[in-house]
Structure 1
Amino acid sequence: MGMQTTPPPEPIRLAVMGCGQRGKNYAAYALSEPTKCKVVAIAEPRPKTRKLVADSYRVDQSLVFESWTDFLEASAETIKTIGTRLADAVLITVQDHMHTELVEAFAAQGYHILCEKPMATNIEHCLRMESAVKKAGIIFGMGHVLRYSPYTKAVTEVVRSGKLGALVNAVHVEPVGHYHFAHSYVRGSWSREADSSFSLMTKSCHDIDILCHWLSPSTPSQVSSFGGLQHFRKSEKPTGAGEAARCFDCAVEKDCPYSAKRIYLDKVTAGSLGWPSSTIVDGIPDIENITEALRYGPYGRCVYEHDNDVVNIQYSSGATASFTMVAFTSLICDRQTRLHFTHGEIVGDMKTFTVNNFRTGQSTVHKPKDEGGGHGGGDLGLISTFVEAIREGNQELLGTDVTDVLKSHLTVFAAEQSRRQGTVVNCEEFERLARLQFESARSEEDGH
């Protein structure tokens, strides 16, 4: 009598809402690990991008949608008629201000959710998201990819081991990169706070999250923040540029470090079709569509003609952390970190880190493997962990939950209040008042 074998579990079925750079990065896991998960549905308004992604993942045409609301309606119909959802989980990778609406809608239908950072663009929406996820009892992942890279996991292991004593201070720098900042936060989707959120939230909420992760179970007690728009304003525009509002019309474009022709067109001309050029057109970038995008779209505008609107944290243990986000550097998001313990230190740059143990006098260099896929393997680490958490029905595999995610976001909102008001903000009091206002508004709504 032969041995009985258990059939392998079916792949986790994913629906991707928004097929931009982040959506494609997470979805790519389904191509490399088809036995683990499968992209079965997509929603994307751009026709060429929609077709490219649908073809890449062989998505059935009946499950290719122009908008997330179309997918939601189709899903509601199948739940009502045959009692099943169209997928197991939804990847929410749309614009930041839309996150809450999608999370609430899909949580209510019982989908597990992976949501790109940040949670939302205001405190009320973050609290609404927490409420929806807890009520639905679903697996919830947050796009805090820094937690999930082999590099960060290795650093975290040393932090948690206690070999270096207590962590008393962290110094963390995010060098965004001069042209990356211009691409995303001056010309791009996050250029105006009214349309997205303040830059500390949109770019660095996962940096604050990783600091909170390393310093837990201690929690932020006080935060102060300083910062402002230093360079990308009309007063800093080179005199030779005159009234030119676009790089194509500018006499000094060749000498400008923020030349759109250099950042996008020259790269495509040289055969580089990836980021950032791939993000500004529908479909595969070529000389023709990139030129059109730069002549008529926001990415060809002068960075000095845009209407754009240093965090210190003390923790309950007495530990302190400082975080700096800076645009003016050649490094592109290669974060620099120093963690100071009572008996040692860790100094790292997202590729390698050195552990200095004061007790033994030993200095050890660690070079964790970069598994690719963005953020030193963090994107891959997050989506693979999310899929595994669904398979096992275990939120703890993600190492965080929606309330934990909310707390690190509230620290970022508190930092922004500090920056605007020029005060030190008490984090516990800030959260207490936020929850109080939220509950009060909910009670009024229910009363009506």
Structure 2
Amino acid sequence: MTSPVRVIVVGAGCRGDIYSMFASIHPERMKVVGVADPRKFARTKLQQRHKIVDENVFNDWKSIVAREKFADAVLICTPDRLHKEPAVAFAKKGYHVLLEKPMATNVEDCTEIVKACTQSGVILSVAHVLRYDPVIHMIKELIDAGVIGDVIHIQHFEPVGFYHFAHSFVRGNWRNEAESSFALLAKSCHDIDLIHHWAGARRCVKVSSFGSVSHFQKEHKPTGAADRCMNCSIEKDCAYSACKIYLDRVKQGQTGWPVSVICQSSLPDIETVTEALKTGPYGRCVYECDNDVCTNQVVNMEFEGGLTAAFSMVAFTEEICQRKTTIYGSKGELSYNGHEVSVFDFLTQRSTKHTAHNKAPKGFGLSGHGGADYYLLDAFISAVANNDPAMIRSGPRETLLSHLLVFEAERSRLESRVVYCGESSQSFT
């Protein structure tokens, strides 16, 4: 394409807002020509930023599908349980699809999305943004280059962050499985996808998982605590106080995430945040919420050839989403500390540090993603412009297989048994 790739943003919340910023940085490559969101403030914000004509602003994505195709691609950033229907509809309409992770909340919907995109001949990119982190991408390149020999074991850890978990998974949109999805899918399908990616062509043959809801329960509510932080007499002694997480940040002039999430109809300031904490879900006591998703979970996997992998997710950490990885090979050991990669060679007994140049604009995307949001959009827009699906690092087939592994792991946790994957993962290809 010589002209910019025209995109429609479906879901103008945090992710849609971030992804659309690529058009502001590279107007010659991407142009936002439409937006759909039931919230007037959210869709108006994007309309004004990208100068979208009124006729292309919608409160429902179905109105877009009903029209003649007027863009090249769609960025689907709706809530988890609302991914399948628009993804299938836009694919059948001929739009290339960037779909926020997780792909969908059950195997059947994931399979239907892949089928629709494949049969329609459109590009599907699922937003496993960590695949696009320059340093994490280097891990795969080093494995493929054979610097640590045969991969024997993968140890991967995700520290969610104590206030991040309280924000998103106790008070927020992903707190309740019936309304969103289970934590391993919502938060850590990134991580299972990375392990699956690092394992290469080897299929996972069996998986086990354990996890539970810890601490954020009514029986742990401190004596004298109120149901809301704004009128709680012991709020100052609580690490999870909504006043600390949101109001104190606004007072310091910090209005980005997570503060930006809690005000649905205006920009955050002292007044709007105070009102949101008085009346909205983010002002609730963390011990009085309807959360039911795991705060801590482990997943153990065995792949063909004897490769084993262990993943841990923990809510109660200082660091936020700064993954830690160690990969043990027959010739060396690779470690990633959230910032750089180090390789220890068994033969020379020397360590070599590896860093990657990050060209992502400062402030683009979410913290903990290492600029990966920018590179995700860069790859997707390039793939559409060149009609080259090979530019996508998390395409339909591999993403479907890694999602299936997540569902199998959760089945293991719920059924308290080892799940033998057998040939089931091949039936979705």
Query: What TM bracket, shorter-length normalisation?
Result: over 0.9
- Of 56, 59, 78, 2:52 maps to 59
Q: Distance in 2 between matches of 1:42 and 1:398?
A: 24
**Among residues 134, 147, 172, which one is paired with 2:156 in the alignment?**
172
Instruction: Give yes or no for contact 1:414–1:430 (8 Å, CA) kept in 2.
Output: no
TM-score, with structure 2 as normaliser = 0.94
- Structure 2 partner of 1:114: 98
- Check conservation: 2:132, 2:393, Cα contact below 8 A: no
Aligned to 2:33: 40
In 2, Cα distance between equivalents of 1:367 and 1:401: 26
What's the CA shift for 1:99? 0.2
Match of 2:199?
A: 215
CA deviation after TM superposition for structure 1 residue 128, in Å: 1.4
Report the Cα offset of residue 358 of structure 1. 1.4
Q: For structure 1, which runs of at least 5 residues remain unmatched after alignment?
A: 1-7, 79-84, 437-448
Listed as ranges, the matches of 1:357-376 within 5 Å are 357-370=345-358, 371=360, 372=362, 373-374=364-365, 375-376=369-370
Residues 288-315 of structure 1: CA deviation (Å, up to 9, x unaligned): 1111111111100111111222000111
1:411 maps to which residue? 405
CA distance in 1, matches of 2:393, 2:43: 33
Give, in angstroms, the shift of residue 430 of structure 1. Answer: 4.5
Paired position in structure 1 for 2:279: 296
Contact 2:148–2:334 (Cα < 8 Å) also in 1: no
Q: State the distance in 2 between where 1:428 and 1:276 align.
A: 42
**Distance in 1 (alpha carbons) for counterparts of 2:90 and 2:257:** 30
Conservation of the 8 A alpha-carbon contact between 1:351 and 1:368: no
**Structure 2: where are the runs of 5+ without partners?**
293-297
Residue 197, structure 1, aligned to residue 191, structure 2: no
- Determine the C-alpha separation between the residues in 1 that align with 2:401 and 2:311: 17
Matches within 5 A, 1:390-409: 390-409=384-403
Amino acid at match of 2:390: E
- TM-score of the two chains, using structure 1 as the length reference: 0.90
Moved >6 Å (runs of 4+): none
2:183 maps to amino acid: S
Shift in Å, 1:92: 0.2
Q: Which one of the candidate residues 260, 276, 293 is aligned to 2:258?
A: 276
Q: Pick one of 125, 128, 137 that aligns with 1:153.
A: 137
Aligned mate of 1:250, from 222, 232, 243 = 232
| Structure 2 counterpart of 1:422 | 416
Aligned counterpart, 1:182: 166
Q: Distance in 2 between matches of 1:421 and 1:49?
A: 41
CA distance in 2, matches of 1:165, 1:41: 49
Work out whether residues 111 and 428 of structure 2, in 8 Å CA contact, stay in contact via their aligned partners in 1: yes
1:233–1:305: 8 Å Cα contact kept in structure 2? yes
Closer/same/farther in 2, CA of residues 200 and 152 from structure 1, 3 Å limit: same
Q: What are the within-5 Å matches in structure 2 for residues 312-391 of structure 1?
A: 312-370=300-358, 371=360, 372=362, 373-374=364-365, 375-391=369-385
Cα shift at 1:32: 0.9
Whichever residue aligns with residue 297 of structure 1, its letter is G
* Higher mean C-alpha deviation, range 124-133 or range 265-274: 124-133
Q: CA RMSD in A?
A: 1.5
Pick the structure with greater CA Rg.
1
If each structure's helix is expressed as a fraction of its own residues, which one has the higher value? 1
What SS class does the counterpart of residue 305 from structure 2 fall into? coil
C-alpha displacement of 1:429: 4.5
Give SS of 1:192's match. coil
Q: Secondary structure at the match of 1:221?
A: strand
Query: Which secondary structure does the structure 2 equivalent of 1:303 belong to?
Result: coil
Number of residue equivalences: 417
1:23 aligns with 2:16: yes
Deviations 1:266-324 (A, max 9, x none): 10111001000001112311111111111111100111111222000111121011000
One-letter amino acid of the counterpart of residue 370, structure 2: G
**Matched AA of 1:238:** P
